[in-house]
């Protein structure tokens, strides 16, 4: 059964993580057993504090949900070892109706591919190469195994030799004369109950004597063979069948295709599709990070449907969603932000409410449907509410947030005010993180008027940690903007104790000139009573963007 990932936005904040865990639990308790909480960004110190407090592990990390090679590859690998014989490989290919077989060593590394086409050319050479049909590269042990025979007498049986097949089906004198034309130590004589031929072969010291038809070799013949260091194999097949099977005793490592095309298991399907379909190969080994073969991909596998599905929480814009979200099915959205441009192929459950926290909506789902809310999940949702509403002091706070928070306090047995103080004291990004990481930890991308821009926020207790680092923060913000070609990038530093913020802005000068808040320094503005990115800052920035566009047109 495929997972349905319940996942927040990139650079997740406390509300995104807590609502994802809470809603995944709700969906499982109401019948969607495949729902799994996920995240597409790192947690921060405050999120870790929340998770530790309530004893809940972080959602599993998934950076990209686009269909991968691993989603469609065949995980059950039918393969042979390099020391397997061609006969063993052919038997498996016939049983499983395969045209190509991977050859894997003991470490699961692919040594090459064995194709039915190349095997048939080897076993049945063209007329102009018919002489090659008498040449066999094999060990005596492999020969005996291929013939379903018995190695009655073996000297250095595991050593591979380039053997020359000779059929003892002619007169004794003719056979003896022909035998003299080949090096005896390379000869493999196949014969039935022709005792005279057997004795001549042994006397001349051939490498191996194969006695066909299930005939028992006489003791005196074996004794003679032992004195001459001649190995003896008995075959249950007739002479003709035995001769035809001998060439199949070759080890597959000698007839495999060492050139092949392979892919990594986490490679996006879209990235490898053209290379695979335009190649002359039919199958492709799939490797993990250690180079081990973990699957097989065929061209027909590209026709499979990937059934991964998403439930988005705390966002509804693809620019903020996990990479690859536009390539899989989105089945639900639970959010409290503005509605962006997102199209779906079919109707979905889209619950968007003007409340202060997505965790408020998730908790309300439990309450409305009478679903039991475990204490630890109630604690997480409480953390999501107080972090996004600054414990009900943010202008985004609604009466519904207050009602839900009161119930969550009872269920989690936690005092919201005391918990909020501990939460915001648990980690200062400006103290703990380098500037590039601090500005990107809670950053969202938006698009308006054809312009892309980013809005990040850091919540602190006071601005004491900010001023010594203002220059490096501005520099990091400029690098972040330039790397992504944003029209502008902003960072809102919010003091949760005074309910005031500082705004850092880099980017288009015409846009920056539209900002009419008090400028403290170049690129730094004072925003009194502004604490909400969603309800206060974002509408203001889009207004400035519109005014800039109007000014340009005017």
Give the tens place of pLDDT for each residue, 377-397: 999 999 999 999 999 999 899
Where are the domains positioned within the chain? 4-67+307-425, 86-254, 429-553
* Residue-wise pLDDT tens digits, 440-451: 988 999 998 889
429-553, superfamily in CATH?
DHHA2 domain (3.10.310.20)
Domain 4-67+307-425, what fold?
inorganic pyrophosphatase (n-terminal core) (3.90.1640)
| Rounded Cα–Cα distance for residues 38 and 324 (Å) | 14
> Is residue 29 over pLDDT 60?
yes
pLDDT at 131 exceeding the cut of 60: no
pTM across the whole model: 0.66
**Segment 442-483, tens digit of pLDDT:** 899 999 888 999 999 999 988 998 999 999 999 999 999 999
**Per-residue confidence (pLDDT) for residue 409, from 0 to 100:** 97
Average pLDDT estimate for 489-510: 94
Cα 326 from chain centre:
18
Residue 13 has pLDDT above 80, yes or no: yes
Angstrom distance (rounded) from CA 59 to CA 40: 9
Mean pLDDT of 484-510: 95
Mean pLDDT value across residues 355-373: 97
What is the rounded average pLDDT of the residues 351-361? 96
Instruction: Write out pLDDT tens, residues 310-328.
Output: 999 999 999 899 999 998 9
The pLDDT score that the predictor gives to residue 130 is 47
Which of 403-407, 427-431, 529-533 is modeled with the greatest confidence?
403-407
What architecture is domain 86-254? 3-Layer(aba) Sandwich (3.40)
Q: In whole numbers, what is the pLDDT of the chain averaged over residues?
A: 92
Interacting residues of 239 by C-beta distance below 8 A, sequence separation 6+: 167, 169, 190, 191, 192, 212, 213
pLDDT for residue 124: 74
Mean pLDDT value of segment 331-352: 89
- What are 422's two structure tokens? 């501990």
Nearest to 440 by CA among 451, 454, 452, 426: 454
Q: What's the distance, CA 524 to chain centroid?
A: 42
Q: pLDDT digit string (tens) for 151-203?
A: 999 999 999 999 999 999 888 999 999 999 999 999 999 999 999 999 999 99
* pLDDT bracket for residue 344 (50, 70, 90): confident
Region of 233 on the Ramachandran plot (φ > 0 left; ψ -120 to 50 alpha; else beta)? beta
Q: How many CA atoms lie within 13 A of 168 on its CB side?
A: 25
Question: Which percentage of the chain shows pLDDT scores above 70?
Answer: 97
Those residues with Cβ within 8 angstroms of residue 3's Cβ, 6 or more apart along the chain or in another chain:
34, 35, 36, 308
Higher pLDDT, 155 or 304: 155
Give the Cα separation of 87 and 105 in Å (integer): 18
């Amino acid at each position: 059964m495929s997972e349905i990932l319940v996942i927040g936005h990139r650079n997740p904040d406390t509300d995104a993580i807590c609502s994802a865990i809470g809603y995944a639990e709700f969906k499982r308790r109401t019948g969607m057993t495949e729902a799994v909480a996920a995240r597409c960004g790192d947690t921060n110190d405050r999120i870790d504090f929340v998770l530790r407090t309530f004893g809940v592990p972080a959602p599993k990390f998934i950076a990209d949900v686009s269909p991968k090679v691993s989603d469609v590859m065949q995980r059950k690998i039918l393969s042979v070892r390099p020391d397997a014989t061609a006969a063993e490989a052919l038997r498996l290919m016939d049983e499983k109706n395969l045209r190509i077989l991977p050859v894997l060593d003991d470490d699961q590394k692919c040594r090459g591919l064995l194709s039915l086409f190349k095997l048939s050319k080897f076993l049945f050479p063209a007329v102009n190469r018919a002489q090659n049909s008498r040449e066999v590269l094999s060990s005596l042990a492999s020969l005996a195994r291929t013939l379903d025979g018995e190695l009655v007498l073996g000297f250095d049986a595991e050593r591979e030799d380039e053997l020359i097949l000779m059929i003892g089906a002619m007169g004794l004198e003719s056979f003896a004369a022909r035998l003299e034309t080949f090096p005896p130590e390379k000869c493999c004589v196949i014969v039935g109950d022709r005792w005279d031929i057997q004795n001549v072969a042994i006397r001349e010291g051939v490498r191996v004597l194969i006695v066909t038809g299930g005939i028992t070799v006489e003791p005196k013949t074996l004794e003679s063979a032992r004195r001459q260091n001649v190995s003896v194999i008995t075959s249950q097949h007739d002479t003709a069948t035995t001769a035809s099977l001998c060439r199949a005793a070759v080890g597959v490592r000698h007839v495999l295709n060492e050139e092949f095309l392979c892919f990594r298991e986490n490679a996006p399907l879209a990235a490898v599709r053209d290379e695979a379909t335009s190649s002359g190969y039919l199958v492709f080994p799939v490797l993990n990070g250690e180079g081990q073969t973990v699957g097989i991909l065929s061209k027909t596998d590209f026709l499979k449907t990937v059934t991964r599905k998403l439930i988005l929480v705390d966002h509804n814009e693809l620019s903020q969603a996990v990479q690859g979200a536009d390539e899989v099915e989105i089945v639900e959205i639970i959010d409290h932000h503005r509605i962006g441009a997102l199209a779906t192929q079919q109707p979905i459950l889209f619950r968007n409410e003007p409340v202060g926290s997505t965790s408020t909506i998730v908790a309300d789902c439990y309450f409305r449907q009478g679903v039991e809310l475990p204490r630890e999940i109630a604690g997480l949702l409480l953390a999501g509410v107080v972090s996004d509403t600054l414990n009900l002091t943010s202008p985004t706070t609604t009466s519904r947030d207050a009602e839900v928070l009161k119930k969550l306090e009872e269920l989690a047995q936690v005092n919201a005010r005391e918990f909020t103080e501990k939460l915001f004291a648990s980690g200062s990004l400006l103290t703990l993180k380098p500037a590039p990481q601090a500005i990107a930890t809670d950053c969202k991308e938006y698009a308006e008027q054809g312009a892309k821009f980013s809005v990040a926020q850091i919540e602190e207790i006071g601005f004491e940690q900010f001023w010594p680092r203002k220059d490096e923060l501005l520099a990091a913000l400029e690098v972040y903007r330039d790397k992504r070609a944003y029209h502008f990038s902003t960072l809102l530093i919010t003091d949760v104790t005074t309910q005031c913020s500082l705004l850092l802005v880099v980017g288009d000068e015409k846009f920056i000139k539209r900002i009419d808040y008090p400028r403290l320094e170049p690129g730094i503005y004072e925003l009194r009573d502004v604490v909400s990115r969603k309800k206060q800052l974002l509408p203001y920035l889009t207004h400035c963007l519109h005014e800039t566009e109007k000014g340009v047109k005017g």
